[in-house]
């Protein structure tokens, strides 16, 4: 079973740290957690929607791990000082 908690925590801390600088929050780019799982997020469009790819490095299956598409939404960055966001991952493989 893949545990998302460490990844979400690292992502939360990374975004929180950006709030300490003068820069605005930007989700676009590649995010990597301590376990080697990563996701690449495309640009956030004018409606706050974004897409990307998630690749988990953690698995208890013998199946080849494939990149999985993700879809998300962010509060419009110009409306909030620290916008929130959420996303879902459509797993490309499953052993359970």
Residue 22 is predicted with a pLDDT of: 47
Residue 2 located in a structural domain: no
* Pairwise CA distance, residues 18 & 89, whole Å: 24
Is 56 a domain residue?
yes
pLDDT tens, residue by residue, 51-73: 999 998 877 777 777 889 999 99
**pTM more than 0.75:** no
pLDDT in the model for residue 46: 86
For position 81, which CATH number holds?
2.40.128.30
The answer to whether position 13 is within a domain reads: no
Counting the structural domains of the chain, the total is 1
- Domain membership flag for residue 12: no
In which domain, by residue range, is 49 found?
Answer: 23-89
């Amino acid at each position: 079973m893949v545990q998302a908690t460490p990844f979400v925590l690292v992502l939360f801390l990374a975004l929180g740290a950006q709030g300490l600088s003068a820069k605005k929050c930007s989700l676009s780019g590649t995010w990597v957690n301590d376990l080697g799982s990563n996701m690449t997020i495309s640009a956030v469009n004018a409606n706050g929607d974004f897409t990307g790819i998630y690749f988990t490095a953690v698995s208890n299956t013998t199946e080849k791990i494939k990149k999985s598409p993700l879809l998300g939404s962010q509060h419009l960055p110009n409306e909030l000082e620290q916008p929130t966001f959420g996303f879902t991952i459509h797993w490309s493989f499953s052993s359970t």
